[in-house]
Amino acid sequence: MLSEIKLKVLEEISNSFSRDEVIWASGYLAGRAASSAFLTEKESQQPNDVLISESVQKITLAYGTETGNAKKLAMGFSAIAKKKGFKIKLEDLAQYKTKDLSQEAYFFIITSTQGDGEPPFSAKKFYDYIHENELDLSHLKFGILGLGDSSYPQFCKTAEDIDTRLESLGAQRVIPLKKCDVDYEEEAPQWLEDVFSVTHNKGKSITHSSSSASSVSGIRKKYKGKVSTTINLNDITSDKETYHIELDTEEPVVYKPGDALGVVPFNSRIVVEEIINLTEINPRMQIETPRFTASVFDLLHEHLNISYLQQATVSEYARITGQDIPEIRLSLLDLLRIYPVKNVSEFEEIIKILSPQIPRLYSISSSPEAHGNQQVHITVAKSEFFINDKKYTGLCSGFLSGFKEGECVGFYIQEAKHFKLPDTQKDIIMIGPGTGVAPFRSFLWERDALGAEGRNWLFFGDRHFLSDFLYQSDFQYFLKTGVLTHLDLAFSRDTAEKIYVQHRLQQKANQVFQWLQAGAYLYVCGARNPMSKEVEETLLDIIQHQGKLSKKEALKYLEELEVSGRYTKDVY
């Protein structure tokens, strides 16, 4: 295909041709195309940039995703592969027919990892199938790309597990396992080039280190913020507590709207002291763990997870103490009470198997343009839940909501590569119930400060208008000044029939579709289940009926929005 400039030149020249000259020119160009001499030296040295012969076998590229990153990456890779002439079948592991595995020749997977090293929900059926069945996969050639965050102890664990299991079933690993950190966009393309290379060379394995090495971003920039403001955004009549927290810093903080603030919470001093008293260990004793060397008190208070142990940790606890413990998840304190250690030495061993405390991420709700670069705002819903009639508070939400003004907290910035504002002239539709509204407050303050020309439409929902309308004064201000073109609200407990943001979307279906047709960008933030899935189902219904499309065409329409960056989600 010609570039726009070359096509314009060709049109200008050929417009003056006679019929005979057109025939002669077409024959001349056909002859040039048939000649091997027509390829430049550079083109002949880049086989991946020309169409691949029809003899190449079909590739299956499957993805397992929770937030959409693996899906978007796989869709982008699939589009590139098709342009290069590869026969590629794109599969969501949630819909993948496991019986087809016996028919695959080249099978590549992109997958994320969730929680404590668990597969994303969409990949669980496939993950369980290969681990629970003895299969003969000696015919299969495969490669795995893992997406993860090296801040978490089970970095790319799902990718590791699938890679190991496929090999144990006889499959041939033709590309070494690639583990990408949060900056995967810079590193994943090399893995795709390896896919092209190995399939173009009929399954010849790649062993170079650039693909096999785990890609870890390294140490993130750490900041220290002083709490300048803590406000409960809910009314006293609400059964929820949602805190607006402002942190002031001495040095500039580098972030953009859409980014998140990462915090590693400390465990309760009271709980740590109970553990120390129960085990009679010296709190000042220095212990070396795989990642930290510190006193017992500091390890239990600042560095290690003691609140909700992984099953693997509980199993190790059982092995060390020689006790029969069911596969359950308990806090370290509860575990010690029910299955006590024999002595201090045994507890020292227990400390060494505890996993590091994992960071928690909160969408930033401030704007660097509006609030400066030495202040960051976050929105924290205090999580409370019951286990066996005992009330518990979420570790990090309790940690942050308990801060007093003047106290300091350490944090880092987690860049959100996809969840970004578009050009200032573009329209945006934001769907963010509950604390999902946090980044959209950031978006609106930023667009207000920049004088953005694009229209802004917000869908927000919660339980009650009077007690749960988060950032009500901000949004009323934006409506008054015209920064907000539309504000649609859904308060589920104020009406006999529960109304949610997806219902408001459906009520404005025609206008929503018109905005999308005009090039609007679409953002969804908040709870993964059930909100984001129900919102997506509503969007597909709107696209299908307003666009007079089939279900398949509507899905393709939404996927094209996703690939182009016009539909992005930040769900949790």
Tell me, letter by letter, the H, E, C secondary structure of 551-565.
HHHHHHHHHHHHHCC
- The predicted model gives 314-329 an average pLDDT of 90
Identify the CA nearest to 519 among candidates 566, 481, 468, 482: 566
Identify the CA nearest to 206 among candidates 317, 75, 306, 106: 106
Taking a C-beta distance cutoff of 8 angstroms, is the pair 212, 173 a contact?
A: no
- The predicted model gives 373-402 an average pLDDT of 84
Which residues make beta-bridge pairs with 281?
A: none
- The predicted model gives 230-256 an average pLDDT of 95
Which residues make beta-bridge pairs with 490?
A: 461
Residue 213 pLDDT greater than 50, yes or no: no
Percent of the chain with pLDDT over 90: 64
Taking a C-beta distance cutoff of 8 angstroms, is the pair 151, 262 a contact?
A: yes
CB-based burial label for 295 (10 Å; 0-12, 13-18, 19+): middle
Which residues make beta-bridge pairs with 360?
A: 263
- The predicted model gives 411-415 an average pLDDT of 93
- The predicted model gives 429-458 an average pLDDT of 97
Strands 141-147 and 106-112: parallel
Identify the CA nearest to 81 among candidates 90, 93, 70: 90
Query: What was the pLDDT predicted at 208?
Result: 56
pLDDT, tens digit (0-9, with 9 covering 90-100), for 475-495: 999 999 999 999 999 999 999
Complete DSSP assignment for 87-151: -EEEEETTT--GGGGGG-SEEEEEEE-BTTTBPPGGGHHHHHHHHHS----TT-EEEEEEE--TT
Which residues make beta-bridge pairs with 234?
A: none
Residue environment code for 323-360, b if the CB has 16+ CB neighbours within 10 A, otherwise e: eeeeeeebbbbbbbeeeebeeeeebbebbebbbbbbbb
Query: What was the pLDDT predicted at 68?
Result: 78
Distance (Å, rounded) from C-alpha 548 to C-alpha 542?
9
Identify the CA nearest to 438 among candidates 529, 561, 527: 527
DSSP-derived secondary structure letter, 493: T
The structural domains of the chain, ordered by start, are: 59-199 (3.40.50.360), 269-353 (1.20.990), 428-571 (3.40.50.80)
pLDDT, tens digit (0-9, with 9 covering 90-100), for 145-179: 999 887 777 889 999 999 999 999 999 999 999 99
- The band of 21, judged by pLDDT with boundaries at 50, 70 and 90, is low
Complete DSSP assignment for 226-262: EEEEEEE-S-TT-S--EEEEEEE-SS-----TT-EEE
Query: What was the pLDDT predicted at 24?
Result: 47
What's the mean per-residue pLDDT of the chain?
86
pLDDT, tens digit (0-9, with 9 covering 90-100), for 513-564: 999 999 999 999 998 889 999 999 999 999 999 999 999 999 999 989 988 8
Residue 36 pLDDT greater than 70, yes or no: no
- The band of 185, judged by pLDDT with boundaries at 50, 70 and 90, is confident
Q: What's the Cα-to-Cα distance from 77 to each of 37, 74, 198, rounded to whole Å?
A: 31, 5, 15
Span of 54-63, 311-320, 465-474 with lowest mean pLDDT: 54-63
Q: What's the Cα-to-Cα distance from 420 to each of 141, 257, 259, 263, 516, rounded to whole Å?
A: 37, 7, 8, 21, 17
Edge-to-edge strand ranges of the sheet holding 428-431: 486-491, 456-462, 428-431, 521-526, 567-571
- The predicted model gives 80-97 an average pLDDT of 89
- The predicted model gives 407-421 an average pLDDT of 92
The amino acid at residue 280 is E
pLDDT, tens digit (0-9, with 9 covering 90-100), for 271-288: 999 999 999 999 999 999
